[in-house]
Chains A and B, each alone.
Chain A
Amino acid sequence: MNGQRELYVCLYAKEFPAQAMLRLRPEIREKVVVVMEGEPPFQTVCSMNGKAHRMGVECGMTRVEVDIFDSVTFLMRSMPEEAAARTALLECAGTFSPRVEDQSDRGEFLCVIDIEGIEKLFGVPQAIAQNLLQRMRALGVIASVAVSSNFHTAICHARARPTQTAIIAQGNETLALAPLPIAVLDLSEEHTATFTSWGICTLGALAELPENELVARLGQEGKRLRQLARGELPHLFVSMETEFRLQERIELDAPVELLESLLFVVGVMLEQLILRATSRVLAMASVTIALTLEGGESHVRTVRPALPNNDRQLWIKLIHLDLEAHPPQAAIVSLVLTAESGNTSKVQLGLFSPQLPEPMRLDVTLARIRAIVGEDCVGRAVLTDTHRLDSFRMEPFTISSPQTSYLMLARSSESDKSPAAGRQLRSIEKVVVTLRRLQPIAFEFRNRRYQVECAYGPWLTCGEWWNPMLWNEEQWDLIARADDGDLFCCCLVRDLVQSSWQMVALYD
């Protein structure tokens, strides 16, 4: 157009509704699959796989007509799944070039990629085409590729030869298009009838027609069709923004209640997500699984390991444990997997660095432990800034990278002393306290009677008087001895709000 060299790759996938459905259902790919659309009982065939096509199934057939064929698997068309598959393919195309134009029609996927100037990165057009096809196959879609310097030539050729890879050299467009049928041009019914009456069946024949006479009979549309057939029609490339969003969606054929059956589907979806993340040298940092349940409710869970990773087995295990701990309340109708990408984790090992748990393995271990003891009972404790007794919060346990500067301080603070530790009694236990002049002199705890030898206190503490969580306590550190002479050291608290005694800690 402006004198610059142009080069386009057209990527075409026919029977896209069927391909999009079979992409996440590898178990039925080898069967005869027909995709229906419409409201029952007026369902018609909108797409099918190759086997169904060879058996004689055609688009527009009704359910009754298809039923005469043996062992046909019926699927209902799912627009969300198609949209998700289309996004995945476009995003894959976007990894080759930022200039991608989507030309998809109702039942097909078609996009054109401007590959001018990317030879240094991806090699010659032949290599790019092969690479693209390989990536499509990995995504579970069978596609065809045509490379041409003319935008429309590439489209026409890809549509006409959906099983071949064609590289059309510059200047050879007319010759390459000549044997193709005129049906690839999306003609209107009127024009199709006209060309049929003229005996024009191929693009070559159309290209041979004289321009002025054609314009006189068909108007400017005639000129456009002739230019298309000759491979000379210019095109203003409108590139779209390919969105990088790691999302996969599947609508289940029947409601699923068993977790194991669901995980089989999740495994396939994760494989696709990992493939897409890997192609951009990324790893998955978190996966959100949104389940749509029977009755319209939704159940959303997010799994976030310590480090981004692309290990499928690990992800399946983590999702499994999470869903086991938080099971959905009804059968599952559809699910959406959305992943957040992160940088691929690099672990720098050192000869003198201490041995630490492997992050990936630790994630699974922690998830398993959470399943045993409960969600908030595993992690590291963080002290809160308050005077209240036993106030802390739990945070997820992560391993920070070691700093070798501390290694030399290993035995720096050794001495013949150690701080005394307390054991917190978090469940309320019965204690009977005997007072004399407001000081405890004896108490009975766990069916044993103790005489107080020394009582330190009372230490008064109060706070948060401005809200209902106020506390006002009187603490006593007691050294007591049981009847049999055993020493017992404890912290006894008198709640001044409720005027009750409670054993809160033992010094051990």
Chain B
Amino acid sequence: MPSALTIRLQIEAALADRIPSALTPGPRILRPMMPTGIDSVDELLGGGLPVGALTEMIGAECTGRTSLALSFAAQITRVEKVCAWVDVSNALSPESAAACGVDLARLLWVRCGVASAKQGPQHSESFTLPEKYRVPPTVKKGLHGGGMGSHPRGEAKGMDDAVSGLLRPAVMTARCAESQRNVRAENEVFKPIAREQFTSEPILRSSGASGHGRPWSRIEQALKVTDLLLQAGGFAAIVLDMASIAPEHALRIPLATWFRYRAAAERTQASVLLLTQYACSKSSAGLVLRLTSKDPLNEGTTVLAGFNRRVEVSRQRFAQVSAGPEKVVSIRKPPQRAGIATWRSETAWVGRR
């Protein structure tokens, strides 16, 4: 009686010319994952974000990219690894990071596009007494007690206008006994103030370097810094935060850059996270997550409670296929993954309910 192994070998040998090693399951490569700290997302991704690969998180503003990335960074710092945050728009809030559980001592924060001169308090306002309240200078007088001022002949100029200004129709009508035409006072109408009028004050306070302006130098700085960090090695995660960069700028980054990052991440076993508004890294990304906004949480009536987030897997390069011989193609369509997960993102000030 031949054993099962012998039979298997015989079958494989018979089918070798058509199907090589037909009954031997192919070797499975277990790719390491790092959890994000959100159960539903980890379950969707089969354990978390891939280590040694490029992960791209796409979405518009307010879709939860930063929350997800910070949650991932918190998991990394919790196991005492270090993480780097390359902030293209200088938009990371350390308070939010700390609230998400990130150990700030293990987070290297690189702020791009910030001139060193702008450091320190941003709302520096100083108070100086206007000149008119100071002790007046001694009045210089001319030879005959006059002079050193406007000429007396100019004093009466404009007097007519001033007097007519004082004698407004309302003042006049109140004193006049004769009947007047009833002039309807116009109702005050609420209108949005014209942009030009309203924005005059804030614009004065801006110091020139608008964060929404030319982002090229900042992007260039960020790409160089990411290169250096990947070369240095030792960082478990490097987050390239381009979440506030418009797609037309982000798409101009050459694809070779992302390919280089992918290779470097694989070599140094670092997770490179890319936060963008539009998919930039194309085929270099090991995982592409698309985040979309859902409704805010309406539980709290007095404070902002949080949001419902939704994430969808757009691309997963090394998806862990369920157990079973991979070479056997089933006749039926295998069960498809849902590819969508939701979670709640609560603000730090909301109490437990």
**Genuine A/B complex:** yes
Interface residues of B in 48-103 (CB under 8 A from A): 60-68, 70-71, 75, 78-82, 89-101
Report the separation of the CA atoms of residues A380 and B87 in the bound assembly, to the nearest whole angstrom. Answer: 13
Chain B residues contacting A497 (CB-CB under 8 Å) are 125
Which listed segment binds B: A183-191, A307-315, A408-416?
A408-416
* A422 contacts the other chain (CB 8 A): yes
Closest residue on chain A to residue B63 by CB atoms = A508
Given contacts A365-B231, A373-B221, A456-B302, A426 and B348 within 8 Å (CB-CB):
no
The answer on a CB contact under 8 Å between A380 and B104 is: yes
Contact partners of A409 in chain B: CB under 8 A: 78
A505 interfacial contact with B, CB 8 Å: yes
Docked complex Cα distance between A179 and B345 (Å): 96
A61 at the interface (CB under 8 A from B): no
CB atoms of A429 and B210 under 8 A apart: yes
Minimum CB distance partner of A384 in chain B = B94
- Of residues 89 through 133 on chain B, the ones whose CB sits less than 8 Å from some CB of chain A are 89-101, 104-116, 119, 121-127
Q: B5-49: which residues lie under 8 A (CB-CB) from chain A?
A: 35, 37-40, 42
Residues 285-296 of B, flagged 1 when their CB comes within 8 A of A and 0 if not, give 000000001111
Assembled-state Cα–Cα distance A165/B94 (Å): 67
A392 is an interface residue with CB less than 8 A from chain B: yes
- Which of these, B37, B125, B345, contacts A468 with CB under 8 Å? B125
Q: Is the CB–CB distance between A383 and B345 below 8 Å?
A: no
Which A residues between 361 and 409 are near B, CB-CB below 8 angstroms?
Answer: 361-362, 364-365, 368-369, 372-383, 390, 392, 394, 397, 399-400, 402-404, 406-407, 409
Distance of A383 Cα from B35 Cα, bound (Å): 27
The answer for the CA separation of A383 and B201 in the assembled complex, in Å, is 30
Query: Which listed residue (B66, B108, B224, B309) contacts A378, Cβ 8 A?
Result: B108
Is B250 at the interface (CB under 8 A from chain A)? Answer: no
Flag if B105 contacts A400 (CB, 8 Å). yes
Given A400-B105, A500-B201, A454 contacting B296 (CB threshold 8 A): yes
Answer yes or no: A444 CB below 8 A from chain B CBs.
yes
Known: A415-B39, A501-B202. A468 touches B127 (CB 8 A): yes
| Nearest A-chain residue to B293, judged by Cβ | A487
Would you call B343 and A421 a contact (CB within 8 A)?
no
Complex Cα–Cα for A382 and B127 (A): 29
Cβ of B153 within 8 Å of any chain A Cβ, yes or no, is no
Inter-chain contacts of B121 with A (CB < 8 A): 469
Whether B82 lies near A419 (C-beta < 8 A) is no
Question: A423 at interface (Cβ–Cβ under 8 A)?
Answer: yes
Q: What distance in Å separates the Cβ of B216 from its nearest Cβ neighbour in chain A? A: 14
**Interface size of B by Cβ–Cβ distance < 8 Å?**
103
Chain A residue contacts of B276, Cβ below 8 A: none
Q: Mark B219-250, 1 if CB is under 8 A from A, else 0.
A: 00100110011011111100000011000000
Number of A interface residues at 8 Å Cβ cutoff, please give it. 86
A-B contacts counted at CB < 8 A amount to 280
Whether B104 pairs with A382 at a CB distance below 8 angstroms is yes
| CA of A359 to CA of B60, assembled, Å | 38
Which of A200-208, A258-266, A335-343, A349-357 interfaces with chain B?
A349-357
How close is A209's CB to chain B, nearest CB, in angstroms?
A: 76
CA distance A502 to B201 in the complex (A): 11
Measured between beta carbons, the chain B residues less than 8 angstroms from A361 are: 232-234
Taken together as a complex, chains A and B put the C-alpha atoms of A264 and B214 apart, in Å, by: 40
Check if A5 is an interface residue, CB within 8 A of chain B: no
Asked whether A420 and B114 contact (CB < 8 A) given A381-B94, A392-B94, A425-B91, the answer is: no
In the complex, are the beta carbons of A417 and B206 less than 8 A apart?
no
Q: Are A422 and B96 in contact (CB under 8 A)?
A: yes
**Chain A hits for B119, CB < 8 A:** 376
Task: Spell out B's residues near A (CB within 8 Å).
Answer: 35, 37-40, 42, 60-68, 70-71, 75, 78-82, 89-101, 104-116, 119, 121-127, 190, 192-193, 195, 198-199, 201-203, 205-207, 209-212, 221, 224-225, 228-229, 231-236, 243-244, 269, 293-296, 302-304, 306-307, 309, 343-348
* 28 A-B contact pairs sorted by A residue (CB < 8 Å): A355-B234, A355-B236, A365-B231, A373-B114, A374-B114, A376-B114, A380-B106, A380-B107, A381-B92, A381-B94, A381-B107, A381-B109, A400-B106, A406-B78, A410-B79, A411-B37, A418-B100, A419-B67, A419-B71, A419-B348, A420-B306, A423-B93, A454-B304, A488-B62, A497-B125, A507-B307, A508-B61, A508-B62
User: What are the nearest 8 A-B pairs in CB distance?
Assistant: A357-B234, A427-B211, A381-B94, A477-B304, A365-B232, A508-B66, A487-B293, A421-B96
- Given A378-B111, A382-B104, A488-B62, 12 other A-B residues pairs in contact with their CB atoms under 8 A: A357-B235, A362-B234, A375-B116, A411-B37, A415-B38, A418-B68, A419-B345, A420-B346, A423-B243, A431-B202, A471-B123, A486-B293
